[in-house]
Structure 1
Amino acid sequence: MQGLKKIVGLVFCVVILAGKVFGQDEEASKMEWFGEAKLGIFLHWGIYSVNGIDESWSFFNDYISYDDYMKQLDGFTAANYDPEKWAKLIKSSGAKYAVLTAKHHDGVALWDSKVSDLTVVKKTPAGRDLVGPFMKALEKEGIKKGIYYSVLDWSHPDYDRKTRTEYRYKDDPERFQKFVDFNFKQLEELSLNCQPDLYWFDGDWEHKAEEWKSKQLKEQLLAWNPNLIINSRIGGGLGDYDTPEQGVPVTRPHSKYWELCLTMNNSWGYQHNDHAYKSPGELLRVFVDCLHMGGNLLLDMGPKPDGSIPEEAVDILKEFGRWTSKHASAVYETQAGIPAGHVFAPTTLSKDKKILYIYLDYKVNESLVIKGLKNMINRIWVVGNGTKLKHREVGKMYWSQVPGLKYIDIPDNVYDKDITVLAVLLDGEIDLYREKGQVIESN
């Protein structure tokens, strides 16, 4: 009898372990496209583009009255909205996914929500669904579909908060539950009608995950689409990836999957007075930093109230397209690079760790040096250019395990106008010397 119990217990443990392994494999498979996407485009589009003011925060922070903010509904026309053109532009940039603000904190829905009157269909001259057509256009171009949704809603009559200093009510769980039910219904509409690949939630900071019913929400969303990816702002640590904002990380975030969301200028939505667009070169440097640390860049732009894209944003996306298409092998299907100090430039590695990619946004003085590389170098070439480069090793002592300095000569005529990429093919998986060095004991 005891032997039977042991066998049953062993079988139970094997089943549990297999389930865990299967679950981990399933999760890794689901996240695979995200890890390989590298570049996404964020689109903040809403009535705030009419006056060119901060989305939702304008009235929340009392910069403008709520009534004056909502007067922008009358000027939101979407007259030149061309979702197919949007999708083609995004694809040309090299981006593999896009995220549209279906509803920001102001509560204005960009689709024909059946549970709200505050929609662009019912309240603006646009008069039609703006989410569904874009999702279809993205799918047609082979781009993963992302929807931004704010879980808080400063306009909804059952949400507790109105502005930074005003509340509709406090400590009324029953009324707040009515609002949470509203969220679930709107997300059901979006999930069933648009079938997004990714939800980009926002606004979870005003309540606890238990109040948002975050666990139940995630379960319901996955019931509609088991392969759905959800960002970290759903609350309760339930997200699939982290979303640092604006500030470029200096060291790699702890999460295996992450993206930096960054504006092209200083504003999320379209602001006609904000001309402080970063140059394509500056944004590409940020992009390369994300690649180096194993993350994605979600680059934001704000369409105008008529649905047209600002020329500055179009130019930036075209430049991204030029660079990503030229250097595709050093962008997609790469992983985080080697630690800082081995080479004075960001790096990535191929999936098999046998190619070291080096990204240079400057011209080196004489030669580029790689330190602490134990491997033999088979060959080096300029990505997108094809030129093979010469290299040599200096300072290797026969008695020491410390590798010599590998120098790479780079002629002036191979440099890219923004960022030059070198591919270093090694004799095997990369092997770095990370010890303190050696002292001669016998000679």
Structure 2
Amino acid sequence: MAMQPWFSEAKFGIFLHWGIYAVDGVQESWSFFEGDVPHDRYMAQLGGFTAARYQPREWAALFARAGARYAVLTSRHHDGVALWDTAHGDLDVVRRTPAGRDLVGPYADALREHGLRVGLYYSHSDWNHPDYASLRHEGRPGWARFNPYAEAHEGQEDPAAWDRYLAYRDGQVGELARRFRPDLLWFDGEWERTEEQWRIRELAGLIRAELPECVLNARMLGEGDYATPEQGVPIDAPDGPWELCLTVNDSWGHRHHDDNHKSTTQLVRYLAETIGAGGNLLLAVGPREDGTLPAEQVERLEGIGAWIAAHSEAVYGTVAGLPPGHHYGPSTRSADARTLYLTLFDIPRGPVGVRGLRTPVRRVSVLGTGAELGHRVTGGLHEVPGVLWIDPPPAADLDAHATVLAVELDGELDLYRGAGRS
């Protein structure tokens, strides 16, 4: 299946880790897996998960104001707790928590009402399922210490139990596909088994029989459509479509004492660097157990949205900009290759230089204010172009987070990438 163009055009999405772990504010799933929290205490959080103030339309409206074009919700993390009324197993918020209702359907409906694409996260692994720890990773024997939640003791594998587990997983994924018809399925947990053990090809066939245009992330291994680096813009961008998964503070889900929120300026920088390298930013926020988002996270989303609104021309409808070395900062370019958008994170102390630009420049302006800037070319010899120098924007035209210059070209972008005269 060809990659769906909406994904690379979206640029910005919201990642929502929401589950019973928000009750005590512990790490999602890993807290009992790694022994930080006793398993019975972790599961006791079922009794405190209320979703009492869950307003998915408010979520969707906020995400739209933030400039996001899609969102991804954890329909079921590694702890196995489903956010919908699944017919496969009984570990879901409908039967086992005070929330008592499906939380996925209203989310999907609200996103669509606001023109956003619907993404659902689902973990291949389930550390609470009685049949899950029935196999070992064939490709990496002894890759991790034995953990009763993840794998069987050596020599105690149970292939029949593993078949039952895969039937359960396929049943739940089928429910998500048929009932909520997501535009994107974001898988996780793939490291615990091989592609063959997961039967990835069969799972992809099940999904695409129901949703031929559904986008799948790379944690569907050989069937994935795009890469998912985490928590840092890659120095070398992955080949093909990709998405940076980044937390707004230090946690994926809600942690009561995690106040280490990145500033709006830092988040705008992550966004500019990511889209400048051809990726999307998937920014994670953590709802409380009642469904509300912390004020600090709402503030960050509103701030990002205001910046995108003033610079949308440099965000949507663009592709990766100049390779490193041409401009000291990220950039994007228009789809017709006739406009460059240069991002300035700092206040320029002098003219802004662009190297290797063969195409003549018609006009340079500050995006968001329209202020026109003088520009000239100095130097150059034979096939090696001179340096384009752009006058620094006046203080009144500088953005509080990142200033963007629109460089309109007299033709399609043509860059010199050589080493000069030998």
Structures share a fold, TM > 0.5? yes
1:54 matches 2:27: yes
Contact 1:60-1:164 at 8 Å conserved across structures: no
1:375: which partner in 2? 359
Contact 1:61-1:164 at 8 Å conserved across structures: no
Q: 1:164 Cα shift?
A: 5.5
1:392 matches 2:365: no
For 1:280, the aligned partner's letter is: T
2:197: which partner in 1? 211
Counterpart among 415, 420, 424 of residue 407 in structure 2: 424
Counterpart among 340, 343, 349 of residue 333 in structure 2: 349
2:118: which partner in 1? 145
Name the SS for the 1:389 alignment partner: coil
Matches within 5 A, 1:399-414: 400-410=382-392, 411-414=394-397
Quick one: distance in 2 between partners of 1:322 and 1:381?
A: 19
Matches within 5 A, 1:268-307: 268-307=252-291
Name the SS for the 2:275 alignment partner: helix
Q: Percent identity?
A: 47
1:438 matches 2:421: yes
Q: How many residue pairs align between the two structures?
A: 408
TM normalised by structure 1 equals 0.90
Quick one: distance in 2 between partners of 1:174 and 1:312?
A: 48
1:317: which partner in 2? 301
Q: 1:348 Cα shift?
A: 1.0
Quick one: distance in 2 between partners of 1:55 and 1:161?
A: 23
Matches within 5 A, 1:16-415: 27-28=2-3, 31-160=4-133, 165-166=147-148, 167=151, 170-235=156-221, 237-254=222-239, 256-397=240-381, 400-410=382-392, 411-415=394-398
Mark the CA change 1:73 to 1:161 in structure 2 (over 3 Å): closer, same or farther. farther
For 2:388, the aligned partner's letter is: K
Name the SS for the 1:205 alignment partner: helix
Name the SS for the 1:422 alignment partner: strand
Q: 1:114 Cα shift?
A: 1.1
Contact 1:264-1:278 at 8 Å conserved across structures: yes
Q: 1:438 Cα shift?
A: 2.7
Contact 2:229-2:244 at 8 Å conserved across structures: yes
Q: Write out the 4+ residue segments of structure 1 that deviate beyond 4 Å after TM superposition.
A: 161-164
Contact 2:134-2:158 at 8 Å conserved across structures: no
Deviation track 1:303-324 (CA, whole Å, cap 9, x = no partner) reads 0001111001100000011011
Quick one: distance in 2 between partners of 1:76 and 1:68?
A: 13
Mark the CA change 1:152 to 1:366 in structure 2 (over 3 Å): closer, same or farther. same
For 2:385, the aligned partner's letter is: P
For 1:378, the aligned partner's letter is: R
Quick one: distance in 1 between partners of 2:318 and 2:227?
A: 19
For 1:132, the aligned partner's letter is: G
Name the SS for the 1:388 alignment partner: coil
Quick one: distance in 1 between partners of 2:213 and 2:264?
A: 33
- Which structure 1 residue ranges, 5 or more long, are not aligned? 1-22
Q: 1:211 Cα shift?
A: 1.4
Contact 2:343-2:403 at 8 Å conserved across structures: yes
Quick one: distance in 2 between partners of 1:396 and 1:209?
A: 53
Deviation track 1:101-131 (CA, whole Å, cap 9, x = no partner) reads 0000000000001112111111111000011
Deviation track 1:254-313 (CA, whole Å, cap 9, x = no partner) reads 2x1000000000000000110000001001101111111100000000000011110011
Q: 1:332 Cα shift?
A: 0.6
Quick one: distance in 2 between partners of 1:436 and 1:115?
A: 62
Quick one: distance in 1 between partners of 2:110 and 2:355?
A: 47
- Which structure 2 residue ranges, 5 or more long, are not aligned? 136-144
Name the SS for the 2:52 alignment partner: coil
Q: 1:152 Cα shift?
A: 0.5
Name the SS for the 1:304 alignment partner: coil
Deviation track 1:37-70 (CA, whole Å, cap 9, x = no partner) reads 0000000000000110100000000111111100
1:4: which partner in 2? none
Contact 2:134-2:159 at 8 Å conserved across structures: no
Deviation track 1:168-223 (CA, whole Å, cap 9, x = no partner) reads 56422221011000011111111111010000000011111111111011011001
Contact 2:82-2:93 at 8 Å conserved across structures: yes
Q: 1:165 Cα shift?
A: 2.6
Quick one: distance in 1 between partners of 2:195 and 2:166?
A: 11
Name the SS for the 1:100 alignment partner: strand
TM normalised by structure 2 equals 0.94
